[in-house]
Structure 1
Amino acid sequence: MEILKRIPGYALALRTVKIYLRKLWVRVVIMGLMSVVAIGLTQLLERVLPDAIATAVAAHSADRLLNIIANAMLAVTTFSITSMVTLHRATSQQWSPRVHRLLLQDKTTQNTLAVFIGAYVYALLAIIMRELGIYEEERATVLFFTTVGVLAVIVVYLIRWVLHLQTFGSLTQTAEQVERTTREKFRERFDNPCLGANALTEPVPEEGELILVKTSGYINEIYTEVLNAAAQELDADVYLLRNIGDFVFVNEPLAKVIRGDGPKDESDYESIEEALRDSVVIGIERSFDQDPRFGLIAMGEIASKALSPGINDPGTAIDMINRVARVLSHYEDETSKDRSEPLERVWVEPLDPAVLIDDGFGALARDGATLYEVQHRLQSVLKALTHHPDHELARAAGLAAGVMMNRAQDSMSFDDDRKRLWEAFRDEGTAPE
C-alpha cells in the first residue's frame, strides 16, 4: 500500500475519491443507484424462485408498505434537511463559520439523508413498476421481503438520526469534531512529513526560475507525488516557497525551479510550470484536508467567540485551551523523522512550532487578556508545553508564555489579579525577566 501511495496517478485518484466521498450528493447518488439495483434484483429473483415460494405473498401486501415508505420518507427527508440547515447556521453564528465546513462532512448526517432519499427512490420505482404491471400480482414475495428490509434499514437510521440530533451542533460535539479532525490531520502530516517531500530548512538557492501564481486564493492541497514525477522527467528540482494554508496573490512567487545542467528548452519550463499548477490546488476558502493548522485556528476562534461580550463564556475558552494543548502535545519534528524514501526532487517547508502556538492561542490570548481564569489556564498549559520532548516546540511555548503574560499584565485593571497571575507564573519558573 505504501508503494502504491507513491505512484502519482494512484495518489491523485485516492485523494480525489476521498474528497468526493465526503460530499452529500455523492452518497445520495450511490444510495439511489443501490435502490435501482435492488428493484432490478427483485425482478430477477422473482422469476427464478419456485412457484410455491414466489406466490406466497401477493403484490397488494407490498403495495401498502411501499406507500408508507413513499409518504413517510418525503416528510422525514424534508424535516431532516430543515434541521440540518438550521443547526449549521446556528453553529456558524454561535461558534465559528469555519466549523461549518466540518459539519457539512458529518458522516452520520450524510448517510442518514442518503438512506432516506434512497428509500424514497426505491418506493417510487416499485410503485411505478407496479402500476405498469411489470410485477405480477401473484408473484411478489421477493418484493415484499425486500421492502421489509428497506423498512428495517429506515428504522435503524431513523433511531441513529434522533440520537445524533441530541448533540449535533452543540458546543461539546462541535469542539470534539474539530479536535478529532485536527488530530487526524496532524497524524497524517507526521506520518508523511513535509507531504512526502524533502524538508526545506535551508535558504532557497538564489539561482533558478520563479513560477508565479496565476490566481489568488488559499493553498488547499499540494500533490507532491505528481510534482516529483514531473520534476524527475525534466531533471529539475522544485522548491515550494509557500505552504499549505497560505494565501497567495496573483503574480506572487509560488515556487523556484532549478533545472539540471543539460540543454534547456523553453518547453521544459512550461511543462514544469503546468505540473506545478496542476499539483497545487488553490481555492477561495481554506480547507481542513491537508491543513492541520486550520483546525488549531478554528479552535482558537471558538474560544475567541466565547469571550465576546454577547456570549461571555470563559469556560468554553478554557476548554478550547485544553483541546489545543492536547493536540500540540502530540507534535513531532518533521525534520527528525526517519524516512527511507522521501521524494527526491521536491522541497517543502516543515511546520513551525511557533506558528502553531500562535494559531491555537494567539486570538484567545488577546481577547481574554483581562480575564484572570483564562490567562491562568493559558499560562499553565504553556508551562506544560515547555517540557515537550521537542526542543523547538518547548522553546516556542516559553517565548509565547512571556509575550502573553506581558499582554495580560498590561490589560488587567485589577491589581490583585495581576499579582496573582504573576506569582503563579513566576512560581512555575517561566516568568519573563
Structure 2
Amino acid sequence: MGIEGHSPPAGAVRRRPRPLSPLREHLRDTFWFTPTAGLVGAALLALGVLELDNLLVRELRKAGDYGEIESLIALADDTKTIITTVGSAMLTFIGVVFSISLVALQMAGGQMSPRVVRLYVRSRITKCTFAVFLATFLFALLVQASYEGNDDPRTVSTVPVVSSMMCVLMVLLSLGLFVAYVNSTLRLMRVSHVVDRITRESFRALDRYGVAAAGPPELPAAGAEVPHRGRAGVLRDVHIARLVRAAQRQGVVLRLIPRIGDFIVPGTPVLAVHGGAAAPPHRALRYTVSVGVERTFHQDLGFGLRQLSDIAQRALSPAVNDPTTAVQCLDRIVQFLAAVAERPLGALHHCDRKGAVRLVQDLPEWADLVDLGFAEIRGCAVDSPQVTRRLVAALEDLERLAPAGRRAPLERHRTLLEQAVERTVHEAADRGFALEPDRQGIG
C-alpha cells in the first residue's frame, strides 16, 4: 500500500511544537550554572573596573593633578569600610537566607507534592538572586584585595574608586533581588499560587499541540519496530521535525508507540514503521527521543492533572486534612477538562511539506484525562462532604459542556461516588448533604 498520497484527515495539525533542548532542560533543572556564570562575570567585571581605576590614576598623574588623586584616595578610604563589611557579611547572609528557604521548601513539598520542588529549582529569580549574591561577595573580596595602603598620590598605582562604587551598586542590586526572592518564595508556599502555576503550564502544553485529528489514523501494516537504545527513564519529548524528515526520506510513516510520560527501558519499542519493511537508519533517528528522570510540561498533557491530583490527595490525607485545598485543585481540574471537552483527542498527524502524514503521535483520550483528574480524588473524598459536593458539581458542569459521546466517563464517576458515599455515610440526611452539588464545596 503506497503512502506518498496518504493525505491528512480534516483537522490535522500542521504546526509542530518546538523540540525540547536537552542541554537547556539540564541547565534549568540544575542549580550550578547560573551561580557559576555569576562568579565568572564578577571576576571579569572586577578585572575590568580595577583596570579602569588604574587608567584613571595614570591619566591624572600624567596631567600632574595630584590634588585630584588625593581626593580619590580619601573617597576610597571612606568606602573601604563598606567593602570590608560586604565581604565579611555577604557569605553568611547567603547561607542563612537559603537555609531558611530550603526548610520552607521542604515544608511546602511535604504539604503539597514533592514535584513542587521543580518550581523552586527552575525559578529564574531564585537562580539570579543566588548568582548576584555570590557575585557581590567575590567582587567585594577582589576590590578589598586591591587596596594598597599607600596614601602618596605620587607613588600609588591604583585607587579603587570606580570599583568601590560598583560594589555599592551591586549591594543595592542584591537587596532588590532579595526582596523579589522572598516574595517569590512566599508565593511558592501558597497553594493557590502553585495550583495556578500548574494550570497555566498545562494550558501552554495544550496550546503547543494544537488540535488532534478527528479520527484514528488509517495506516498501512507495521513492517518493523525501532527499539529504544538510550538510558531508562521517562519519555519527555520527541523531536517531531527530525522524525518527519527521517520518515520522508525512507518513504514510510512512523508511529510513536509509548505516550509522552511513559517510563521506557532499553529495548522498549518506541517507533512502529508503517508502509515499509525497513526502518530509517539509526543515525537519522539520533536525538529524536528525549528521556529524563521526571516528566515535564513540554509535550505531556496529563502531567498537570497528575500534579493537581497529587496535591488534592495529600490535602485529603489524615496527616494534612485540608479539604479546601482539594476543592481548589478540583476547580483547576474542571477548568482544564472544560477546555478540552469538545476538543478532538486521540492522535496527532504530523505531515511533511507535501501534506503526507509522516508521524502519528498518540495523545490521552478524553476518558484518560477524566480518570486522571477524578479517580484518585474520588477515592479519598468520601469522608469529606466539602469535596464530594464540589466533585458532584464538577461532574454536572462537565456533563453540560461535554458532547453526548463523552458523558459516559463522567456518569461513571458520579455513580461510583454515589455508591461510595452510600456505603460510608449511614445517615440519609448526611448522604443527601454530601451529594448535593456545590461549586464552593460548602458555600
- TM bin, normalised by shorter chain, reads 0.7 to 0.9
Distance 1:103 1:165, change over 3 A: closer
Does the Cα contact within 8 Å between 1:80 and 1:113 map onto a contact in 2?
A: no
Pair 1:349-2:348 in alignment: no
Deviations 1:295-341, CA, capped at 9 Å, x for gaps: 21111111111111122221111111112222333334357999996
Does the Cα contact within 8 Å between 1:201 and 1:349 map onto a contact in 2?
A: no
Pair 1:238-2:254 in alignment: yes
Residue range with higher mean Cα deviation, 216-225 or 164-173:
164-173
Pair 1:212-2:219 in alignment: no
Residue range with higher mean Cα deviation, 367-376 or 333-342:
333-342
- Paired residue for 1:253? 269
Q: Secondary structure at the match of 1:400?
A: helix
2:375 counterpart (340, 357, 362): 362
Bigger relative contact order, structure 1 or 2 (CA pairs below 8 A, ≥6 apart): 2
Distance 1:250 1:165, change over 3 A: closer
**Matched letter for residue 325 of structure 1:** V
- Paired residue for 2:98? 81
Task: Point out the structure with max Rg over C-alpha.
Answer: 2
Pair 1:169-2:189 in alignment: yes
CA RMSD across the alignment: 3.7
The offset of 1:15, in angstroms, is 6.4
Distance 1:269 1:376, change over 3 A: same
Gaps of 5+ in 2: 1-13
Deviations 1:66-99, CA, capped at 9 Å, x for gaps: 2222222201111122123212222222222222
- Paired residue for 2:300? 291
Inter-partner Cα distance in structure 2 for 1:391 and 1:123: 68
Pair 1:110-2:123 in alignment: no
Does the Cα contact within 8 Å between 1:200 and 1:349 map onto a contact in 2?
A: no
Does the Cα contact within 8 Å between 2:233 and 2:265 map onto a contact in 1?
A: yes
Pair 1:333-2:344 in alignment: yes
1:307 counterpart (286, 297, 316): 316
**Matched letter for residue 302 of structure 1:** I
Deviations 1:200-253, CA, capped at 9 Å, x for gaps: 823664332012234543211222122222223333321001111112344332
Q: How many residues align?
A: 407
Residue range with higher mean Cα deviation, 21-30 or 124-133:
124-133
5 Å-filtered alignment, 1:34-433, equals 34-46=41-53, 49=56, 51=60, 56-58=71-73, 59-130=76-147, 139-190=159-210, 193=211, 201-202=216-217, 205-214=220-229, 215-258=231-274, 260=276, 268-272=280-284, 274-275=285-286, 278-331=287-340, 332-333=343-344, 344-388=357-401, 396-421=409-434, 424=436
Distance 1:77 1:16, change over 3 A: same
The offset of 1:365, in angstroms, is 0.7
Inter-partner Cα distance in structure 1 for 2:419 and 2:197: 33
**Matched letter for residue 192 of structure 2:** T
Does the Cα contact within 8 Å between 1:213 and 1:249 map onto a contact in 2?
A: yes
Gaps of 5+ in 1: 429-433
Distance 1:339 1:48, change over 3 A: farther
The offset of 1:374, in angstroms, is 1.1
Distance 1:177 1:131, change over 3 A: farther
Q: Secondary structure at the match of 1:24?
A: coil
Inter-partner Cα distance in structure 1 for 2:293 and 2:22: 19
**Matched letter for residue 142 of structure 1:** V
Inter-partner Cα distance in structure 2 for 1:205 and 1:297: 34
The TM-score with structure 1 as length reference comes to: 0.80
Inter-partner Cα distance in structure 2 for 1:240 and 1:321: 31
Q: Secondary structure at the match of 2:72?
A: coil
**Matched letter for residue 344 of structure 2:** D
Inter-partner Cα distance in structure 2 for 1:159 and 1:419: 50
Identity of aligned residues (%): 20
Inter-partner Cα distance in structure 2 for 1:91 and 1:322: 20
Distance 1:271 1:143, change over 3 A: closer
The TM-score with structure 2 as length reference comes to: 0.78
The offset of 1:23, in angstroms, is 3.4
- Paired residue for 1:431? none
Does the Cα contact within 8 Å between 1:210 and 1:253 map onto a contact in 2?
A: yes
Residue range with higher mean Cα deviation, 318-327 or 340-349:
340-349
Inter-partner Cα distance in structure 2 for 1:399 and 1:337: 27
Inter-partner Cα distance in structure 2 for 1:348 and 1:56: 72
The offset of 1:45, in angstroms, is 3.2
**Matched letter for residue 365 of structure 2:** D
Inter-partner Cα distance in structure 2 for 1:336 and 1:212: 21
